Amino acid sequence: MSSTPIRTTSRRALAVLTAVVALAAGCSGDDTSGSTSTTKARDGSTSSTSTTADGDGEGTARAPLDATPVRLVSLDLDANDPIDLAYRSDSTSLLVAERGGTVREAQRAGDGFRFTDEPVIDLTAAIGSTDMERGLLGIAVAPDGEHLYVSYTEASHGDSRIDEYGLSGEDGSLRADPDTRRQLVAIEQPFPNHNGGSLRFGPDGMLYAGFGDGGAADDPEGHGQARNTLLGKILRIDPSAPDGIPADNPFVGGYADFSDAQPLIWATGLRNPWRIDFDPANGDLWIGDVGQNRIEEINRLVADGDRPAGYGANLGWDLFEGTERFESPDPAPVPASEGPFVTPILTYSHDEGGCSVTGGVVVRDPRLAGLDGAFLYSDFCAGGVRAVRPSTGDSIDTADLGLEIGSVVSFARGPEGEVYVISMSDGVHRIDPA
């Protein structure tokens, strides 16, 4: 099955980019539980965010997040640079994506898991380099379990792709057929970083994908705020449509001020959305967006009636980093309209430790009742697992869960709601009650 991919291009740099990625090693070690901070909204107002046990915003009292003891249980999988995890709805096996290009099946074996002998699919030839932030970056399985979706950078130029493959077989022999490949999205990448790669199906059955602003620094081509590119965006894709475009996307049919807008765009103003998740209980969309040199941010986009969360939202980059106005040394064109912008539910500075936020999942595991409704996240440099949960009014609960794990690149929910943490250095773990 084949079709013409949705394609957008951006000017490729003529000069060879020499890039050095410096990761800030170490963290503050400060316990964030019980802290209070002030967040400045992007409209200039201020609001207090504090750790509190007053409720979840709906009047339901809850114990503090840091009162919930948890532990990490290793799956003991010999994974090579694991990057993401997914599962098929009718299966107890887990699909583990390795950055180099393989997707492997981890089958239950007694109390643990083991990899099957053959990969579900091997895309190493198509991917090639994993330099900088390239490689196989995200996977998702369709709700019907019949298709696997992969987000990766291709070998020839490092451009971004989202492909669909037919998925079949039983536990222990799951396979994605290379002959069924269908390309859904193709995006030219001007630089080798900020490729995003998160894939998640929403409660509406649509496929949501996160892409960064194209890389380098300072968003030199203004992709974050530009509607004529898929870079710096959350996309919403209808895999059942021949062109992949949902008819109810915000820029389908044209806006007077955005006549050149790409119809796959769902939300704008992102620097590098490194992992997104939908709350299965209420449909809220959570996004971890990587900052530049100072501030990391987590956004919560609330579901609004019949409309999925995040419709037409603008998260502010490259006009804002976190809640602070971003002043680029080489400013990109400023759009005619500056807002309204989504204010992050939580920010933290690099001065507090960390360098790159890793967004996670909302906990809905009945075994972890004390964490119910909390969004778990990490930082690639600082490590560990932290939690944030809406409380009363504009307040939030926050906690460091005290879990020692480094180089976290993804979180995932399993078939029974269990939470998995994927680390490039420490492998795949599950969060269990202590």
Tokens of 410: 């993804």
- Average pLDDT of every residue of the chain: 85
Instruction: Say which amino acid occupies 1.
Output: M
pLDDT of res. 327 = 76
Q: How confident is the model at residue 331 (pLDDT cuts 50, 70, 90)?
A: low
- Using alpha carbons, select from 142, 149, 144 the residue that is nearest to residue 120: 149
- Using alpha carbons, select from 186, 299, 282, 193 the residue that is nearest to residue 235: 186
β-pairing verdict for 175-187 and 6-8:
parallel
Cα dist from 318 to 225, 289, 314, 315, 411, whole Å: 7, 12, 11, 9, 26
402 class by beta-carbon count within 10 Å (0-12 exposed, 13-18 middle, 19+ buried): middle
221 class by beta-carbon count within 10 Å (0-12 exposed, 13-18 middle, 19+ buried): buried
β-pairing verdict for 408-413 and 396-400:
unpaired
pLDDT in tens, 73-96: 999 999 999 999 999 988 999 999
CB 415 within 8 A of CB 145: no
Question: Of 161-165, 209-213, 215-219, which range is least confident?
Answer: 215-219
Domain ranges of the chain: 30-433
pLDDT of res. 253 = 77
Calculate mean pLDDT across residues 230-239. Answer: 98
Rounded Cα distance between 15 and 79, Å, is: 36
pLDDT in tens, 136-193: 999 999 999 999 999 999 999 999 999 999 999 999 999 999 999 999 999 999 999 9
The pair phi, psi for residue 313, each rounded to 5°, is -65, 150
Q: H-helix or E-strand containing 161?
A: strand 160-168
Choose which CATH entry (2.120.10.30, 1.10.275.10, 3.50.70.10, 3.40.190.10) describes domain 30-433.
2.120.10.30
Tokens of 141: 């399985």
Rounded Cα distance between 75 and 77, Å, is: 5
pLDDT in tens, 16-69: 222 323 333 333 333 333 333 334 456 444 333 333 333 344 445 677 887 789
pLDDT of res. 223 = 94
| Report field, pTM of the whole predicted structure over 0.85 | yes
Calculate mean pLDDT across residues 100-124. Answer: 95
Instruction: Write the CB contacts of 163 (distance below 8 Å, at least 6 apart in sequence).
Output: 149, 150, 152, 181, 182, 183, 184
pLDDT of res. 9 = 33
Calculate mean pLDDT across residues 374-387. Answer: 97
CB 287 within 8 A of CB 276: yes
pLDDT of res. 109 = 86
